[in-house]
């Protein structure tokens, strides 16, 4: 299913945020359907992005934001020496292993949002040059940011997938459901 808006999302802000985050995740997951690790790691456009790298990146970013909101360290530490690894499979990593990792992250995200006492609670943005100094953001902001971040990269993934085999996200949904769009 393309749109994930459950009955609990109606009138429930947490449910709505989580439903839209999951909908965005679905777009990313569909982009790698039926591809080998080699295909998903290829870079068929002028961009340096690959589908496998995008899946890995959004999983790491989601985990990182939830860790920041909890006041915990990120699981994967990135700096200038390994930043490039955020967008590529390394070592024994596979698309399947990154999807499994992302599933764990997604479960943690859901548990975090469901158990947070108040979506208005804030935390400080990291001391990085691309963030305003001494700025705080709310848990609600994190949910909205994850929707924006994942959807942005799902759009990249659509273009990359179409460059690989001519299939759009809609084609993949139709194949998955046994329907046709035309």
Q: What is the pLDDT of residue 86?
A: 84
* Total domain count, the chain: 1
Let me know: does 31 contact 157? Beta carbons within 8 Å.
yes
pLDDT at 6: 56
Is residue 2, in this structure, part of any structural domain at all? no
Structure pTM? 0.88
Question: What range does the domain containing 36 cover?
Answer: 7-177
- What pLDDT, on the 0 to 100 scale, is given for residue 129? 87
CA distance 60 to 62: 6
Q: Is residue 1 part of a domain?
A: no
pLDDT, tens digit (0-9, with 9 covering 90-100), for 65-119? 999 999 998 888 877 888 788 899 999 999 999 999 999 999 999 999 999 999 9
| CATH code of the domain in which 39 resides | 1.20.120.450
The pLDDT value given to residue 181: 54
């Amino acid at each position: 299913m393309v749109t994930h808006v459950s009955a609990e999302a109606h009138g429930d802000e947490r449910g709505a945020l989580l439903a839209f985050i999951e909908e965005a995740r679905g777009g990313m997951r569909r982009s790698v359907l039926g591809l080998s690790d080699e295909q998903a790691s290829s870079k068929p456009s002028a961009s340096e992005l690959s589908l496998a790298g995008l899946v890995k990146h959004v999983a790491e970013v989601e985990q990182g934001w939830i860790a920041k909101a909890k006041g915990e360290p990120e699981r994967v530490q990135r700096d200038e020496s390994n930043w490039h690894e955020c967008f590529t499979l390394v070592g024994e990593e596979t698309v399947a292993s990154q999807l499994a990792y992302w599933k764990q992250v997604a479960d943690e995200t859901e548990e975090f949002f469901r158990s947070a006492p108040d979506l208005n609670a804030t935390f400080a943005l990291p001391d990085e040059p691309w963030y305003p100094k001494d700025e705080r953001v709310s848990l609600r902001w994190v949910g909205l940011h994850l929707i924006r971040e994942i959807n942005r990269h799902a759009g990249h993934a659509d273009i990359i997938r179409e460059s690989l085999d001519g299939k759009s996200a809609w084609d993949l949904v139709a194949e998955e459901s046994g329907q046709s769009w035309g």
